[in-house]
């Protein structure tokens, strides 16, 4: 059975739910060191939220007749130019962090990645959510 493509509003709802899950994982430890399991859950939750954010960006541009994009970097740059995100460099840093965290690379980036998620990336996602809500209600 064929499914209908998601609307931008449905993608935004999915993103909002993923962001709420991410906040929940980030707030679980309340200034205590994270266990390995908590760290893994936070990173997975971040990756899900980021993937859905990219899907929302692509869906929004598709609605406007733009795209397709060759990858997350191109979609992020276009989102910055269209004022969907206000800190293009930080969003590109998210992509770089995700790439560097990949177990294929031998460098240990988990500590910095977890810190960036909690101190920077969640806030960027929250701004993006607010912006998208405004754009979709115009």
Structural domains present in the chain: 8-136 (1.20.120)
pLDDT score of 1: 53
Helical ranges in 31-121 per DSSP H: 36-63, 72-81, 88-101, 110-116
Dihedral sign for Cα 25, 26, 29, 32, please: positive
Integer Cα distance of 103 and 84 in angstroms: 31
- pTM, full prediction: 0.88
Residue 36 is predicted with a pLDDT of: 81
Q: What is the pLDDT of residues 47-98, one digit of tens each?
A: 999 999 999 999 999 988 887 888 888 999 999 999 999 999 999 999 988 8
Cβ atoms of residues 71 and 54 within 8 Å:
no
Q: What is the pLDDT of residues 85-135, one digit of tens each?
A: 999 999 999 998 888 776 655 556 778 888 899 999 999 999 999 999 999
């Amino acid at each position: 059975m064929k499914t209908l493509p998601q609307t931008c509003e449905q993608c935004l709802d999915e993103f909002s739910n993923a962001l709420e899950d991410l906040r929940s994982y980030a707030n679980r430890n309340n200034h205590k060191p994270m266990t390995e399991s908590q760290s893994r859950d936070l990173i997975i939750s971040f990756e899900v939220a980021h993937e859905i954010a990219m899907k929302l960006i692509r869906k929004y541009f598709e609605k406007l007749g733009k795209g397709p994009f060759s990858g997350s970097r191109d979609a992020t740059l276009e989102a910055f130019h269209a004022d969907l995100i206000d800190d293009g460099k930080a969003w590109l840093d998210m992509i770089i962090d995700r790439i560097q965290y990949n177990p294929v690379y031998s460098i240990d980036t988990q500590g910095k990645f977890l810190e960036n998620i909690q101190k920077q990336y969640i806030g960027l996602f929250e701004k993006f959510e607010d912006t998208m809500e405004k754009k979709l209600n115009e």
